[in-house]
Amino acid sequence: MKRSASLRLVLMGSAALTLSACDESVDVGVFETVEQCQIMGYSQSACETAIQAAAREHMQSAPRYATKADCEAEFGRCETPTQAASEIPAGAGQNAAQTPAQQTPGQVAQNQGGGFGSFFMPMMAGYMIGNMMGNRGGMAQPLYRPVGETARQTGGGLFAGNGTRVAGGTGMTRMPESTLSAARAPATSTLSRGGFGSRANSVSVAS
């Protein structure tokens, strides 16, 4: 019995080490504008492609609220979602006078779609790019910055839509590849005031 128990412990330990080895950390760039991305040494085309990809992802993974007041209480600036339209240039619409490099993520997202939805979501505060080595771009995702009580509750900074805290500010960081992938989860439920803070804290505890 003792030998069997020891064998089980060895196998469990080996499995844990294997999972840990597979879940490698990757470089992640966190930016608010295309210009910040370029300053870190990445090409303008890679940065512009990433911010537009994040704007499209924003339509799927942004936190959703039934009322604008609840959304604004947690994020300050909110909007009605529009359906992503990748064929529309990032410079089209009300910000056409600005180049893509001058636009904020929220402005790019506004220019990416047409019809209105029936819920509210925070405007993008930034975007992250995973696995940026060699200007490949990798997985571009939108980021959000909570305000007020939600910022105090979560510690503030930039978060993915699923509640993962990515960074305190812009620049380069590292995170597990599994965490980066999980942060892409599409929004499937509607939050009320305080809901994002609870979601972020639950993600933090789980990780």
The CA-atom distances, in angstroms, between 85 and each of 13, 56, 108, 193 are: 48, 8, 11, 30
Residues 69-103 as b or e (16 or more Cβ within 10 Å = b): ebbbbbbbebbebbebeeeeebbeeebeeeebbeb
The three-class DSSP label of residue 92 is coil
Report pTM. Answer: 0.71
* Percentage of the chain modeled with pLDDT above 90: 32
Q: What is the pLDDT of residue 23?
A: 58
Q: What angle do CA 47, 50, 52 make, to 5 degrees?
A: 110
Q: What is the pLDDT of residue 74?
A: 96
Round to whole Å and give the CA distance between 34 and 205. Answer: 33
For residue 170, pLDDT over 80 is answered with yes
In a domain, 160, yes or no: yes
Q: Is residue 148 within a helix (H) or strand (E), and if so which, with residue range?
A: helix 148-154
Q: What is the pLDDT of residue 147?
A: 95
Lowest mean pLDDT among 8-12, 79-83, 184-188, 202-206: 8-12
Round to whole Å and give the CA distance between 195 and 112. Answer: 27
Q: What is the pLDDT of residue 36?
A: 94
For residue 60, pLDDT over 90 is answered with no
In a domain, 14, yes or no: no
**Is the pLDDT higher at 139 or at 159?**
159
Q: How many domains does the chain have?
A: 1
**Is the pLDDT higher at 6 or at 78?**
78
Average of per-residue pLDDT across 9-22? 43
Side chain identity at 112, as an amino acid letter?
Answer: Q
Is the Cβ–Cβ distance between 75 and 147 less than 8 Å?
yes
In a domain, 1, yes or no: no
Lowest mean pLDDT among 7-21, 49-63, 82-96, 159-173: 82-96
Q: What is the pLDDT of residue 94?
A: 34
In a domain, 18, yes or no: no
In a domain, 34, yes or no: yes
Q: What is the pLDDT of residue 14?
A: 44
At 65, is the pLDDT very low, low, confident or very high (cuts 50, 70, 90)? very high
Range of the domain at 54: 25-206
In a domain, 51, yes or no: yes
In a domain, 30, yes or no: yes
Q: What is the pLDDT of residue 132?
A: 44
Query: Is the backbone of residue 121 left (phi > 0), alpha (psi -120 to 50) or beta?
Result: beta
Average of per-residue pLDDT across 82-100? 39
**Is the pLDDT higher at 84 or at 172?**
172
In a domain, 174, yes or no: yes
